[in-house]
Chains A and B, each alone.
Chain A
């Protein structure tokens, strides 16, 4: 799934400096901002769980978005090609009926 993204960002990454081992990632849900420092190869599940625990939410009812794309628990900063200081947005689960 991240193939396209990798292709698209390949040029940008090549120009950047050697990838940093640790990334600072901001997670925000409009009200709160939480900064996480994680390795590039760490699954984001860890981060998501930590954020949910901190905010008292269940993982099933929130959606993590990176530039509008839904972040899966199995994703890593590498697969999403995240860079230092990137921001994950936390949205409420969308429900609709009427």
Chain B
């Protein structure tokens, strides 16, 4: 038993953010396989490792355990040397079916890291896998080549061969490691409790494996949770910590072999270094105490503002700044001056307390007096300073331990991050850290001991001496992860077949660290739409980012229409069947024409929206606009509008240019003569052209002659020109007359003339044919026009009939529900004055009573703004009751009804809960208050009952005059709930007593606009109430899109104090 007698100067502060388990690492026992493990492995044989692995994996994947699945190592050596965890799996000979397992530390129930037991799950798995073939001990029946366990204690002598073909073999001995006992495995001296490390577990395990694999034996490495990313090359490095192991826990004694007391407490670290550290700490504490510290919100500011003449220490300033950022939180721009000051103050205090704690502790530990005390108490240094259980450590010792913890953490923080001003003292500081840690853990202080006999035996928990200090940075890329495989199980169905050769490539080595070490891929940033060339079309709007509301110009015409309009536009596609004789030119023309027509149609639709929709009552202009706005079309229109107009114009012009101006000229009446002249002129030209060759030829002469004769025969009246021609002809004739004429010539002339006749006749026939065709076409067009006219008339007639039908239906419905269409719009926009007044509510005093409602309550700003005017506000009872009772008041006033005999009654929204909870008979007070009695019940036109049921406002309506009850739920487009209507009927029945005639009364549904959002039901309820009180059909009186306006209208009505003056209900 050792008691440290140290001066009571403890001043500890415990507000460091992270707490690390600062256990000294110990070499674990390798003789750690438990009996259970051994026996189970003997029982399961080669399946054992697989079963166990499946167990663990299942445990991890199916339960809430988030520990990593055990690593599978490539060899047994690796598993033992560098493996982690107490169950270490490895594959033998690159064959995944040959999975083996060793247990490296003693854990009877096979826990995972978070403390969950594997054993029950494993046993369950064994049972489930072989339910029918369990032997009487509940163990699996052995397969071929296996041995069956028949006694429970797994004594190999009790194992007998049960299957004839099986080879008798002894129970496999536990595969004990043959390595030297000093080969340590990694244990967790710094099981960092911080969250950051937990998330990094997977990669860090690999790091640990690697590190411990290399430096097993006398040094342990621990990766502390500091990682650095080099900005220049993006390399990630981790900081690791080297420490010597203590002796194995197998040595039971408390002795430290090969270790004796040191001569001087300061010799291990060095007197100078200690003095220097103490001096720095003292100086810093002094500076803080004298307020010679500047704090700032940023490091740059701190550095720029630093003035060496002030006597301050920049390093200290930086250290305090970093400590503040880490332990207290950075100063945010939003922080007030006071908050900043408090942060600065806190950081200073924290640093001062921690530094002075370290200083105190150093003063206490590194004195010869203490060491001498130890020496006198104990001849040989013990492993731990054990307190007798009857002699608990006194308060001073406890506070010292606490102080040591704080000091250790502070030094660790300094070592890890901020060696400002202490460069060159890492090693010394590390040793101080270890000593402080030992004090905290009640272990022997490493500075007090030294190796005696064997120079190589190191001081447990100490850091290796030498140039590489306790901490060193290792690039994560330098660490070899390749031996960590993701294990793939061979199919269990084929376990008796020969193991197939394993393709090592199937095992995916995990080369990249997972978790937060991995840099996330760059997310694609949304970009603006841009033109890209595509193979199909030259230019097409394409979008890098998925922007739903855009469309390519190809579909631009459709873009400016709402979906509903598009349905109603009649598309005229040229049908192939009508043009069975392919007339390409025609088709092209017609298609172009069609395109232009469509373009014009779109232009029309776009500009004026003067298209007709088949059901005018279905969509109003506003609704269409709203739909468009919802679909984002308006936005595009503004953006692309000019572009679309240009496109349209282009197309129309193109069409006009391509279309034939007039296919045929007007049928001019051509005389035979004109035709003839034409023919001759052509011929004459030809003659003059070919004059050289044909002059003198016979044919030429005959032509001449025939010409001459014909001219004489037909042309009686001739112009001067023709006279000249005639003269020439005469000359020619005379000249020709000199030529001897043969009868052959005459014949030829006649033949030529006939030919000419034929030609003329043909042309004439053509003309006639043309005329006929034109006439036919004319007639056809006429017929077409008539047909169209008839069709139009028929359509009009049909429409008229439909309207008639609809009117009849409406009338019918109106007679049934007693509702009509309003004569003027129910929800009109507010005047500017009222808009201003409504907007003025936002500036009102929160406590002011802005309006009174008939039941005596007052509305405040809260009711108006939060419960009505905000576009998505949910209405509260004040607004509902106020509005509905205003409706009733207005109706009664216009009908001149007395308060005792109202025409319209509005109950408060608390009427319904009362009716439901207390029953109809206990509503007398409320009914009397509203003037509803048995005797005047039938004189009431409308009873309005707002219902708030589960955050939803609905309206119950009783119309005693019509003997109907109804319930309007805006979510169901006016349809109500049956049980509510039943309750209403029950209430009417109780109220009417003997005047109740069950057969007269009916529960009906009204139609109303449907609510499609999650906030407007109150407004629907009030507006429905207004409609029904006025006898209007809600569906035809307003639309859901008007309700934002209606909110302001209702606010105006409430401010106005009822439906008076500007909001009069007359004239609907």
Residues of A within 8 A of B (CB): 1, 4-5, 7-8, 60, 63, 65, 67-70, 72, 74-75, 91, 93-98
Is A1 in contact with B1014, judged by CB distance below 8 angstroms?
Answer: no
A1–B926 Cα distance when bound, in Å, is: 11
B1025 to chain A: closest CB distance in Å? Answer: 14
Please, which residues of chain A bring their CB within 8 A of the CB of B971? 98
Q: A94-B948, A96-B952 are in contact. Are A72 and B857 (CB under 8 A)?
A: yes
A30 to chain B: closest CB distance in Å? Answer: 11
Please, which residues of chain B bring their CB within 8 A of the CB of A74? 856
Please, which residues of chain A bring their CB within 8 A of the CB of B313? none
Please, which residues of chain A bring their CB within 8 A of the CB of B965? none
Please, which residues of chain B bring their CB within 8 A of the CB of A72? 855-857
Q: Pick the contact of A69: B860, B925, B1018 (CB < 8 A).
A: B925
Is A5 in contact with B877, judged by CB distance below 8 angstroms?
Answer: no
Stretch among B119-127, B392-400, B905-913 lining the A interface = B905-913
A5–B928 Cα distance when bound, in Å, is: 7
Please give me the residue from chain B that is nearest to A8 by CB atom: B928
A32–B949 Cα distance when bound, in Å, is: 23
Residues of B within 8 A of A (CB): 855-857, 860, 862, 867, 872-878, 880-881, 900, 908-911, 913-914, 918, 922-926, 928-929, 931, 948-953, 971, 1013-1018
Is B926 in contact with A68, judged by CB distance below 8 angstroms?
Answer: yes
Is A69 in contact with B951, judged by CB distance below 8 angstroms?
Answer: no
Is A68 in contact with B1014, judged by CB distance below 8 angstroms?
Answer: no
Please, which residues of chain A bring their CB within 8 A of the CB of B908? 68-70
Is B922 in contact with A67, judged by CB distance below 8 angstroms?
Answer: yes
Please, which residues of chain A bring their CB within 8 A of the CB of B855? 1, 70, 72
Is B951 in contact with A96, judged by CB distance below 8 angstroms?
Answer: yes
Is A93 in contact with B918, judged by CB distance below 8 angstroms?
Answer: no
Please give me the residue from chain B that is nearest to A97 by CB atom: B874
Is A96 in contact with B948, judged by CB distance below 8 angstroms?
Answer: yes
Classify the secondary structure of B's interface with A.
Answer: mixed
Please, which residues of chain B bring their CB within 8 A of the CB of A94? 876-877, 880, 909-910, 948
A97–B872 Cα distance when bound, in Å, is: 8
Is B931 in contact with A70, judged by CB distance below 8 angstroms?
Answer: no
Please, which residues of chain A bring their CB within 8 A of the CB of B876? 93-95
A-B contact pairs, 27 of them (CB 8 A): A5-B929, A7-B928, A8-B924, A8-B928, A60-B862, A67-B914, A69-B908, A69-B910, A69-B926, A70-B857, A70-B908, A72-B856, A91-B910, A93-B876, A94-B877, A94-B910, A95-B867, A95-B876, A96-B951, A97-B872, A97-B875, A97-B952, A97-B953, A97-B1016, A97-B1017, A97-B1018, A98-B952
A71 to chain B: closest CB distance in Å? Answer: 9
B185 to chain A: closest CB distance in Å? Answer: 59
Is A97 in contact with B914, judged by CB distance below 8 angstroms?
Answer: no
A5–B855 Cα distance when bound, in Å, is: 13
Please give me the residue from chain A that is nearest to B925 by CB atom: A67
Q: Pick the contact of A95: B860, B874, B923, B924 (CB < 8 A).
A: B874
Q: A68-B923, A69-B926 are in contact. Are A1 and B910 (CB under 8 A)?
A: no
Q: A1-B856, A60-B862 are in contact. Are A97 and B925 (CB under 8 A)?
A: no
Please, which residues of chain A bring their CB within 8 A of the CB of B1013? 98
Is B1017 in contact with A96, judged by CB distance below 8 angstroms?
Answer: yes
B1024 to chain A: closest CB distance in Å? Answer: 14
B951 to chain A: closest CB distance in Å? Answer: 5
Is B856 in contact with A97, judged by CB distance below 8 angstroms?
Answer: no
Please give me the residue from chain A that is nearest to B862 by CB atom: A60
A16–B601 Cα distance when bound, in Å, is: 84
A68–B945 Cα distance when bound, in Å, is: 13
Q: A68-B910, A69-B908, A72-B857 are in contact. Are A98 and B1014 (CB under 8 A)?
A: yes
Please give me the residue from chain A that is nearest to B951 by CB atom: A96
A7–B971 Cα distance when bound, in Å, is: 41
B197 to chain A: closest CB distance in Å? Answer: 43
Please, which residues of chain B bring their CB within 8 A of the CB of A1? 855-856, 929
B426 to chain A: closest CB distance in Å? Answer: 57
A63–B876 Cα distance when bound, in Å, is: 11
A75–B855 Cα distance when bound, in Å, is: 12
Please, which residues of chain A bring their CB within 8 A of the CB of B953? 96-97
* 7 closest residue pairs by CB, A with B: A68-B914, A97-B874, A98-B1014, A94-B948, A96-B953, A94-B877, A97-B1015
Is B929 in contact with A63, judged by CB distance below 8 angstroms?
Answer: no
**Most B-side CB within 10 Å, residue of A1, A7, A63, A91:** A63
B411 to chain A: closest CB distance in Å? Answer: 49
A8–B589 Cα distance when bound, in Å, is: 88
Please give me the residue from chain B that is nearest to A93 by CB atom: B876
Q: A95-B876, A95-B951, A98-B1017 are in contact. Are A65 and B910 (CB under 8 A)?
A: yes
Is A96 in contact with B928, judged by CB distance below 8 angstroms?
Answer: no
A96–B951 Cα distance when bound, in Å, is: 4
A39–B822 Cα distance when bound, in Å, is: 53
A80–B612 Cα distance when bound, in Å, is: 62
Please, which residues of chain B bring their CB within 8 A of the CB of A68? 908, 910-911, 913-914, 918, 922-923, 925-926
Please give me the residue from chain A that is nearest to B911 by CB atom: A68
A65–B914 Cα distance when bound, in Å, is: 10
Please give me the residue from chain B that is nearest to A65 by CB atom: B910
Q: Pick the contact of A70: B875, B910, B952 (CB < 8 A).
A: B910
A80 to chain B: closest CB distance in Å? Answer: 9
Please, which residues of chain A bring their CB within 8 A of the CB of B952? 96-98
Please, which residues of chain A bring their CB within 8 A of the CB of B950? 96
A38 to chain B: closest CB distance in Å? Answer: 19
A77 to chain B: closest CB distance in Å? Answer: 15
Contacts beyond the supplied A1-B929, A68-B913, A96-B948: 4 A-B pairs with Cβ under 8 Å: A8-B928, A75-B856, A91-B910, A94-B876
**Most A-side CB within 10 Å, residue of B860, B923, B953:** B953
Please give me the residue from chain A that is nearest to B908 by CB atom: A70
Please, which residues of chain A bring their CB within 8 A of the CB of B931? 4
Please, which residues of chain A bring their CB within 8 A of the CB of B877? 63, 93-95
Please, which residues of chain A bring their CB within 8 A of the CB of B913? 68, 91
B929 to chain A: closest CB distance in Å? Answer: 5
B94 to chain A: closest CB distance in Å? Answer: 63
A65–B923 Cα distance when bound, in Å, is: 13
A69–B929 Cα distance when bound, in Å, is: 9
A13–B900 Cα distance when bound, in Å, is: 22
Q: A97-B874, A97-B1016 are in contact. Are A4 and B929 (CB under 8 A)?
A: yes
B846 to chain A: closest CB distance in Å? Answer: 10
Please, which residues of chain A bring their CB within 8 A of the CB of B924? 8
Please, which residues of chain B bring their CB within 8 A of the CB of A8? 924-925, 928
Q: Pick the contact of A5: B878, B881, B925 (CB < 8 A).
A: B925
A44–B134 Cα distance when bound, in Å, is: 80
A1–B857 Cα distance when bound, in Å, is: 11
A94–B910 Cα distance when bound, in Å, is: 9
A63–B855 Cα distance when bound, in Å, is: 13
Please, which residues of chain A bring their CB within 8 A of the CB of B922? 67-68
A1–B853 Cα distance when bound, in Å, is: 12
A60–B876 Cα distance when bound, in Å, is: 11
A7–B856 Cα distance when bound, in Å, is: 19
Please give me the residue from chain B that is nearest to A75 by CB atom: B856
A95–B1021 Cα distance when bound, in Å, is: 13
Please, which residues of chain A bring their CB within 8 A of the CB of B860? 60
Is A95 in contact with B948, judged by CB distance below 8 angstroms?
Answer: yes
A68–B926 Cα distance when bound, in Å, is: 7
A5–B1017 Cα distance when bound, in Å, is: 32
A48 to chain B: closest CB distance in Å? Answer: 12
A10 to chain B: closest CB distance in Å? Answer: 12
A92–B234 Cα distance when bound, in Å, is: 59
A60–B858 Cα distance when bound, in Å, is: 10
Please, which residues of chain B bring their CB within 8 A of the CB of A65? 910, 914
**Most A-side CB within 10 Å, residue of B880, B925, B949, B1013:** B925
A2 to chain B: closest CB distance in Å? Answer: 8
Q: Pick the contact of A97: B878, B911, B923, B1014 (CB < 8 A).
A: B1014
A9–B33 Cα distance when bound, in Å, is: 90
B160 to chain A: closest CB distance in Å? Answer: 72
Is B875 in contact with A95, judged by CB distance below 8 angstroms?
Answer: yes
A9 to chain B: closest CB distance in Å? Answer: 8
